[in-house]
Chain A
Amino acid sequence: MKKNQATAVAETKKQRSKLCREIIRHRSVYLLALLPLVYYIIFKYIPIWNAQIAFRDFKAVQGVVGSPWIGLENFREFFNSFYFWSLLRNTVMYSVGKLLISLPLSIILAIAIYECTRPVLRKVVQTLAYLPHFLSWVIMYGILLTLLAPGDGVFNDIIQVFGGHPIDFLSNTKAFPWVVLFSDAWKEMGWSAIIFIAALMGIDVSLFEAAMVEGASSWQRVRYITLPSILPVIVTVLILKLGTILDAGFNQIFMLYSPQVYSVADIIDTWVYRQGLLEFKFGLATAVGLFKGVFGMILVLFANWISKKATDSALF
């Protein structure tokens, strides 16, 4: 018994000294980690610490720690407000709508690029399709203005040629959501197709050759070989997108919207921005941001877990 204990103690000591040796051996790695970790503490963890003002009646002069606690008052104000459901609805509507439009589009685009038999056309489309992703939403807003402006936009000229009445797309509550959904599809379609193109390139060509010898038409090849081969990637993309369902695209909505369309345009992030930084209700805005953060975290972790189970690939 005693002997056993002694060996156990010796064992742990041995392990500990081994750990110490390992730490010493890696000392320059810790040195490398120092600066980024300091950065993380300042720029990522102090904001988390600051988030406590969600439970306080924040006054700028009193600071984060000096402001009085008010419990869940800020959250209550938000949940009871008339905005809560409309913000949640708009946010989910935009992110689901974007998914429904751009996911099929990007899959079809990827397959078309893959199947296209004209090398020049393929190369040109492939090159241009990625370009809009790199334009900011400010630039996109400028482009959309030339297309959609009520007095002098190209679309309204076309509508008038066909005898219709001009529509102010950006301040019409019926048209605005569609502008958001389709401008996003236009901007991101090519970029989202990349991952599917990559998956398509991984398909074993001999499968196609075999199918051709067996007499399968191009349609059948797409239906029975191409689509099933990229299905796991589609599922992964879908799951990971569902994890960020509360991010409906702040930059886009912020650039495009105006007070006339707040009722259909306002998402959680734009509302937080206006409440916090324009009306200085820091506590309320932080509470809403925190609500979104917690909810978003649950969704992301859940999505990541499912993705790991279903397709054996995960973000982290």
Chain B
Amino acid sequence: MKNRKQHLKPQMQNKKVKLTRADHTFNIVVDIFMVIILIAIILPLWSTITLSFRPVDFIGSNLDGMFLSPWKWSTAAYEALLGNNGFLMAFMNSFKILVGGVVCALVLTIPMAYVLSVQSLPGRKIINMIVIIPYVFNVGMIPAYLLVRDIGLINHLPAVFLPGAISTYNCIIMRQFFVGIPGELKESARIDGCSEMQVLFRIVLPLSKAIVMTIGLYYGVAFWNDFFNAMLYLNDSYLNPLPILLRNILIGSGMNENLEVTAFANAPINAIKAASVFMSAIPMVIAYPFIQKYFTKGTLLGSVKG
């Protein structure tokens, strides 16, 4: 990462080489493309944000709404949401799923990945097969649904994160990282009398902060965003996590039982919808800089051959 600057701009280092006209057009084309991409990314986000701040007495088209001046913004939609028990409860449920899920996932994934990285382990190939087979052979949602129902997890929050608590893909990425840690370090610890458990906790984990963060964040994003498991396994509206509530608000079904704000809110219904979209996205947006710090490394590791 450190030498990226030199990597990215070869023509800047070598000032002796004169830029030709073709080079100039090239740079302009690149710049225009980048600006188009930038606008294409920002426009949808901007239209949602401005919609969420739209006052109830707004007159004009949505196109006008996108240029609504900040002095006319209304926070009524956010006040309505934050003053609503259903919304706060859903936020708490999502938070519980996030924390429970990430802890559970890491407690299961780290040992599994470490075990698979111990090259000298008798039976490692068998364990590897056990891990890979369900990854390659996916039997679909119904058999998984029957399992969750049979072990009595329906209407319990862990039903949302337990079925995905080990993602084999994440496990493979992590194993790849563990394999890359110099064997001498582990070997010398073993010679000094460390058990494998101690090797994992004293040698491997302290060297693996980046990958543990990356994988933890991947899991966190997945659990925070999950709506499918929640929809399948949670029928009680008190247990609804944020994505389910958001979906109900957006498709307008059961709006009254989920969100009693509609009748007396002084914000347009579309503004409330947009505000709930934005509120659901906020934790991701806050976590995003941290995610970004680590994920390039993680994704790179995923592309390394196994």
Contact = CB atoms under 8 A, between A and B. Distances in A.
Contact of A50 (B13, B66, B127, B147): B147
A293 interface: yes
Contacts of A219: 22, 26
Interface stretch (A4-12, A82-90, A92-100, A124-132): A124-132
A29 B115 contact: yes
Q: Which of A33, A45, A213, A293 has the most CB of B within 10 A?
A: A33
Interface stretch (A141-149, A172-180, A259-267): A141-149
A147 B226 CA distance: 23
22 contacts: A19-B122, A35-B108, A43-B163, A43-B165, A51-B139, A112-B30, A121-B31, A135-B225, A136-B224, A136-B227, A157-B63, A160-B61, A195-B300, A198-B300, A201-B7, A205-B6, A212-B10, A212-B14, A282-B146, A289-B143, A312-B305, A315-B306
A75 to B, nearest CB: 14
B203 interface: no
Given A51-B139, A212-B10, A301-B136, A121 B127 contact: no
Interface of B: 4, 6-14, 17, 20, 22-23, 26-27, 30-31, 33-35, 37-38, 40-45, 47-48, 51, 61-63, 66, 107-109, 111-112, 114-115, 118, 120-123, 127, 130-132, 134-147, 151, 162-163, 165-166, 172, 195-197, 200, 221, 224-228, 232, 243, 246-247, 250, 270, 273-274, 276-277, 280-281, 284-285, 288, 291-292, 295-296, 299-300, 303-306
Interface string A301-316: 1000000000011111
A212 B14 CA distance: 9
Interface in A291-307: 292-294, 296-297, 300-301
B161 to A, nearest CB: 11
Kindly state the interface size class of chain A when it binds its partner: 35 or more
Most chain A Cβ neighbours within 10 Å, of B114, B135, B138: B138
A28 interface: yes
Contact of A198 (B143, B228, B299): B299
Contacts of A23: 122-123
Instruction: Provide the main secondary structure of the chain B interface.
Output: helix
A205 B10 contact: yes
A116 B11 CA distance: 11
Interface string A267-290: 001001100110000100110111
Given A139-B280, A145-B273, A121 B10 contact: no
Nearest to A268: B140
Contacts of B27: 115, 117, 218
Contacts of A158: 63
A33 B115 contact: yes
A49 B246 CA distance: 35
Contact of B144 (A47, A143, A251, A313): A47
Given A121-B31, A154-B63, 10 more contacts: A32-B114, A113-B34, A117-B31, A118-B34, A136-B226, A142-B274, A161-B63, A217-B20, A218-B11, A288-B140
